[in-house]
Amino acid sequence: MTTTALTAFEQVRGRRLAREISTLGGDPHAPGAQAVVGAVTLFAILIMLVAVTTVAAVVAYLTWLVQARRTAVPRASATSVLVAWLVPGVDLIAPPLLVYRLWWASRPPADRHGRWVALLAAWWLSWLAMLVLVPVRLSLDSVPGDASLTGLGPLELAAVAVSALLCAAVVRQITQIQTTGTRYPRRAQDRPVASWADPAAHEALPQILTRQVPVQQAHPTGH
């Protein structure tokens, strides 16, 4: 909601406000400065709200991820989660591999692998698209007199919304598997691909996308 409000402000008032601030030259005592005080204050409030809600969402997600990993693998460390998401460069590849391994360790039903990989890929691609779109818009809108305050527009907002919805779907799938109380058996040869921290991790994604879950991995009798 806060991102939607900020995007609406950008579309309705943002560009004009950017031009007005540019003409003032950063001088709060320049003629006409008082006319933009209200708009600048509203913009600052929206930025703070977006920042607070973003931090809250990140903390909530990482807390869930750590707890879910410990449910699947009791001795799992929180360090790998923090490294996967917070180390530049690593955070572009490691998170989906980490979440894939979590899903696999949670022992899901045998027939959900294809749908899960599709969901995971869609979520991560939408996340990467969101990271790319905002800087691209900012660079395109850097022409003097026509600058963008935030780089947010309808396309960027759509990417944020899609990424958030798909992330929620990923969380829901893993949570449902872990809370059903049914853990399906794994054979030694059905282990997931190498850990994202493994030197061979760069080869893991093609294996994930092409992995086929064995037909023999069916529901145990009585479940």
Please report, for the chain, how many H helices and E strands are present, in that order. Answer: 8, 0
Query: How many Å apart are CA 49 and CA 44, to the nearest integer?
Result: 9
**In the chain, domain spans:** 2-210
Look-up of token digits 């994604």: 205
Q: Residue 139 burial (CB < 10 Å; 0-12/13-18/19+)? A: exposed
* Residue 47, SS3 per DSSP: helix
Quick one: pLDDT at residue 13?
Answer: 77
pTM: 0.71
Report the pLDDT value the prediction gives residue 9, as an integer from 0 to 100: 83
How many beta carbons lie within 10 A of that of residue 123, not counting itself? 23
Using CA atoms, how far residue 106 sits from 56, 66, 68, 110, 174, in Å, is: 26, 13, 9, 12, 7
Give residue 174's pLDDT. 94
Cβ atoms of 17 and 43 within 8 Å: the answer is yes
CB distance 152 to 7 below 8 Å: yes
The pLDDT tens digits along the chain (223 residues) read 788 888 888 877 777 777 776 666 655 566 666 667 677 788 889 889 999 999 999 999 999 999 999 998 888 888 989 999 989 999 999 999 999 999 999 988 878 889 999 999 999 999 999 889 888 877 776 555 556 777 788 888 899 999 999 999 999 999 999 987 555 555 444 455 444 444 344 444 444 444 444 444 444 444 4
Q: Are 65 and 167 in contact (CB under 8 A)?
A: no
Write out the two tokens for 165.
């919805």
Residue 126 contacts residue 159 (beta carbons within 8 Å): yes
CA distances from 104 to 109, 146, 151, 203, 220 (A): 10, 49, 37, 18, 17
Report the candidate in 54, 82, 67 with the shortest Cα–Cα distance to residue 175: 67
CA distance to 39, 50, 103, 114, 161, per residue, from 208 (Å): 49, 35, 12, 10, 26
